[in-house]
Structure 1
Amino acid sequence: MANKKIRNATVCTAKNITFKSVLEKSCFTCLEEQGFAPKYEPKKFIIFPSFVPITPFYDKETDAQQKKRVESLGKQSSKELRLCNGLIQPITYTPDIYVRYNDLDIWIECKGFTNDVFPYKKKMFRKLLDDTYNKTGQKSIYFEIYTKKQLLQAIEIIKSYGQ
């Protein structure tokens, strides 16, 4: 079954977990085989909070919004801009795999193709990890993995932190 949200990804299942891609499943099972206790998408982070704007912002009406307005007024109007003053939703990020190793939080992102938003989310998540370290002293490592070979190298790096 194809994954419509992730380009060229195939949804698959193992150990009662539905993975969004074969790479995620492969990384997860490899970590288990190497003696780790990985968790799949255990936490969604808010990397930019929601807010209610105070600065007026006007945007073009969508066709559906215009149709609804025309139906409620009963006549056509030349208005195209509308005030958008509602809640701005937060920006969230959910890393694919989490592993606790000694005193480290290990976050692993399994990547096939990156979309246009991911580089920004990655930067904000890295900032969040740094802020967490500065506030609490909690150390983390963050990996972006594209192949099983890279994962095996990441495992060597993780184990070197425990020595």
Structure 2
Amino acid sequence: MASVTFANNPVTLIGNEVKVGDKAPDFTVLANDLSPVTLADSKGSVRLISVVPSLDTGVCDAQTRRFNEEAAKLDNVNILTISVDLPFAQARWCGAAGIDKVKTLSDHRDLSFGENYGVAIEGLRLLARAVFVVDSNDVVTYAEYVPEVTTHPNYEAAIEAAKAAK
């Protein structure tokens, strides 16, 4: 498993680490209107999955805004931001932040994504910061588990991986 800290304290991640070359695990999360969303809902396109603990924090806010800006430059790439924030809070945050290209999804109900991608933090009911790129054939082509949850991911590497994926 990836070694991750939160505010410099080691945390235990629940689930299996996803690696490049793996078949992307399925998941069920909730859209802002409470409808279920699965990996299959975006089949046939490249998915850049940005995972954040909560949109209501500085780094998560900046990460989501950055990928929202990059979305306009990426063809056939769906950018999904997944957190455990309630769908209502995600919708409110997106409206206030002007986020219109990234789809925010909530893993609050079941931690389905968190457990299937090995990013659920034991005891905190939060997701560790991570970025995954899944190609149109549902193969993971990029996986970054950010070692310290309170720091930024490697935006450039994730964006380049999304551009290279087919």
Structure with the higher fraction of residues in helix conformation = 1
Q: TM-score, normalised by structure 1?
A: 0.32
Q: Which has the larger radius of gyration?
A: 1
